[in-house]
Amino acid sequence: MTLEVATFWVLAVVLVGSALAVVLSKNLFHSVLWLALALTGTAGVFLMLQAEFLAGVQVLHYAGGVVTVVVFAIVVTERLVGTKLSHTSRGVVRGAMVASLFLAFIGSEVMSWPLPAAPAALTGDPTKTIGTLLMTRYVLPFELLAVVLLVALLGASYFARPEE
């Protein structure tokens, strides 16, 4: 077993284990912390795919930003009600059936497709290529994204404004 395969298996176990903990944990707070681990594991997968920039974005933006926001929301809502949020599941058997049927379908499709067996040769630094693409071909979506983030920021602060 090569180092690459071993690293992949470690990452896969961490990712799947923490993802399961997110959906099965009885404590909402623990769920969020497991989600942080799952998102960091994904950053590891990105590193394996030689997407260092995306791994950085993932850790800073996603694991850092999203998890902080969710923790804040939980603390704020628990303060508002004064009780702990209930975090139970229902219809577990039906949910597991639907999810495993979906997995079986996707899995059989993936198994039957002819897929490349090795990564394409790297042409230049991926980070540099991403930067160039963002500033040339994808500059309009990039600017629109800035507008979307601004609108989301304004909308979120409007929704969560203090009561009059």
Partner 1 sequence: MGLQPYLILAAVVFSIGLFGVLTRRNTVGILLGVELMLNAVNINLVAFSRFHGHTEGMVLTIFAICLTVAEVSLGLALVILLFRSRRTALADHIDWLKG
Tell me which residues in 3-32 interact with partner 1 (CB under 8 A). Answer: 4-5, 8, 12, 15-16, 19-20, 22-23, 28, 31-32
Beta carbons of 80 and 61 less than 8 angstroms apart: no
d(CA 35, CA 24): 12
Q: Kindly tell me which residue out of 118, 140, 143, 164 binds partner 1, with binding defined by CB under 8 A.
A: 118
Least CB distance from residue 124 to partner 1, whole Å? 9
Binding letters toward partner 1, positions 76-115, x by CB under 8 A: xx--xx---xxxxxxxx-xxx-xxx-xx--xx--xx---x
Least CB distance from residue 44 to partner 1, whole Å? 11
d(CA 84, CA 28): 9
d(CA 45, CA 33): 19
- Both tokens of 115, joined, read 């897929």
Q: Kindly tell me which residue out of 123, 140, 143, 164 binds partner 1, with binding defined by CB under 8 A.
A: 123
d(CA 39, CA 59): 7
Restricting to residues 36-55, which ones interact with partner 1 according to CB under 8 A? 38-39, 42, 45-46, 49-51, 53-54
